[in-house]
Amino acid sequence: MPEKSNSFTSIAIFPELKHGFNPFDLAYWQNSHKFSSLISKPAELNNFSEQISKKRDFPYRTEISTILLEQYCRIQLADRVKTNIERLKSSDTFTVICAHQPCLMGGPLYWIYKIATTIKLCQNLEIQFPNKHFVPVYYCGSEDHDFEEINHFQIFNQKIEWKTNPGHAVGQLDANELSHVIETLLKMFSNSEQANVFLNKNIEWINQTATYVDYYRHFVNELFGSYGLLFFNPDNKSAKNLFSPIIKKELLEQFIFKNANKSIPVIEKLGHHPQVNPRELNLFYHHAEGRKRMVLESGIYKLIDAANQWTQEEILSELESNPERFSPNVLLRPLFQEYLFPNLAFVGGGGEIAYWLELKACFDDVNISYPLLFRRFSAIYYESSILQKISKTSFTELDFLDSITQLESKFVKNQNNSYILQPDDFIAITNLLEKIKADSNQLDQSTKTSIEAEIHKILKSLEHIENKHLKAIKNKLEQEILQLHKIKDNLFPNQSLQERIQNFLPYYFKHGPAYINYLIQMYEPGLNKLYLVKETTV
């Protein structure tokens, strides 16, 4: 059934390759059972009871609660956030986690879809298990040093960019350098009261904080604090100290490389390519000059692009003294997350789930329970202005999921124009030519072959004529076709999924918190469909 509110309605359809999804992504999303040898259990609600049993005796509840409370010490806690931090100490409380880099203003839309999925999954679990508590957690990828991935977002086909000197973990960057981004947005949305209030809060957060990750905690808390979402910054000495036994194992045994490589042939046998090729050593090191990748060469631990090096004894001493300097890479990070939290499920996009599928043997090797892997929901958002434009065409909202070439062809062929060859015309001509071809069977082989060649030429000529007619009509209907392109470009900017390009702020500034609340309530865990979200009011 379509989900409704005063401002939105939605329908859910099966996602397809033509919508822009990766085959590997679709394969897991639509049938996680196919990957049973690479996971603990399929992503289904009836598998949570077993996960709960595995995590009931989780050892670090008090420690993670203390770490989170310290990280929130300079922020006004929403009641539900405070309650959830305290509840983590209880053996009847569990988490559902999503993870993402701290992309500027959230980056593409799928960031907000990922968090909404996580919150809704926890809400459903609260109903399914009324005597237990379920806490949504956003694991912020603050240690990532790839600044080019987080320093921009797109609104109204305009790229808004944060320019600074990168190199260090992005969470450690100076928050004050964000001011020009906020000023740009204030000018862009000068007529929006909602935008003015929200953006001025951003200025306050920038002035109150020294680092980008501390600013980002305010940003996330403003949007999702009322839902009890916890923001976790992994760039933390206490957290790394807890995780140091696993870091030590990676330093000494390179267990990620050995175990992940066991899964890759299984993935390839299923017809897919591995998302990440494991390195021999899956660690970075926070150096004075930035976050540097560690390598092991002839028993010596070194940093790429830095002179530092350690013997085995020296690196273990460094780990004991300064665990915060060691940073897991993309394949070790999931184990860090599951080591720290009483977690039941991980919510991710297709790319994330693809690399998690390489890790089951790694989890088993260190006796960490492997979570259920839930694919976040995907959506295409139809603004009211786009819906009005669609209503003036002969197409439906669903038609615009087809390629622009298909739309153009359908549009042109639907026009009542006498000089377009109609399908019936082609059928009549083809039938006549087939009759001539059949009659030629009574003639000698040379004549028959010649006639068949001429018929082939005629059919090719007809095809050429039709293409010329279509081109002529397209030229005549240029404005109407241009409108089709504008609609299509809004729904699939740069011929990509909207959720990978557009930012959520225009929708949030138009509808306020109701926009986020609708996304959360719309999602139905386990449905595994693509949502088409339509504005019903402006």
Same-domain status, 19 and 168: yes
- Which two tokens mark 299? 């028993």
The pLDDT of residue 423 is 64
Half-sphere exposure for 80 (CA within 13 Å, toward CB): 17
Same-domain status, 192 and 336: yes
Q: Which tens digits make up the pLDDT trace of 384-438? A: 999 999 999 999 999 999 999 999 888 877 775 545 566 677 788 888 888 888 8
> How large is the average pLDDT for residues 130-158?
94
Q: Is 106 left (phi over 0), alpha (psi -120 to 50) or beta?
A: left
Total number of domains constituting the chain = 3
Rounded-to-integer distance, Cα 250 and Cα 241, Å: 15
> How large is the average pLDDT for residues 490-497?
95
Inside any domain, residue 110: yes
Same-domain status, 8 and 20: yes
Same-domain status, 368 and 445: no
The pLDDT of residue 422 is 64
Range of the domain at 393: 382-415+479-501
Inside any domain, residue 322: no
The pLDDT of residue 442 is 81
**% the chain with pLDDT above 70:** 96
**% the chain with pLDDT above 90:** 79
Instruction: For residue 71, give every residue at least 6 positions away whose Cβ sits within 8 Å of its Cβ, in sequence order, or none.
Output: 217, 231, 232, 233, 236
Kindly report the number of other CB atoms within 10 A of residue 491's CB atom: 20
pLDDT at 248 over 80: yes
pLDDT at 474 over 70: no
Same-domain status, 394 and 355: no
Q: Which tens digits make up the pLDDT trace of 12-35? A: 999 998 899 999 999 999 999 999
> How large is the average pLDDT for residues 356-361?
98
Same-domain status, 345 and 215: yes
Q: Are the C-beta atoms of residues 400 and 54 closer than 8 Å to each other? A: no
Same-domain status, 115 and 176: yes
Inside any domain, residue 21: yes
Rounded-to-integer distance, Cα 108 and Cα 398, Å: 23
pLDDT at 3 over 50: no
Q: Following DSSP, what letter does each residue of 24-47 receive, concatenated?
A: HHHHHHH-GGGGGGGSSS-S-GGG
Inside any domain, residue 321: no
Inside any domain, residue 270: no
pLDDT at 471 over 50: yes
Inside any domain, residue 226: yes
- Which two tokens mark 448? 């028959």
> How large is the average pLDDT for residues 498-521?
97
pLDDT band at 2 (very low <50, low <70, confident <90, very high): very low
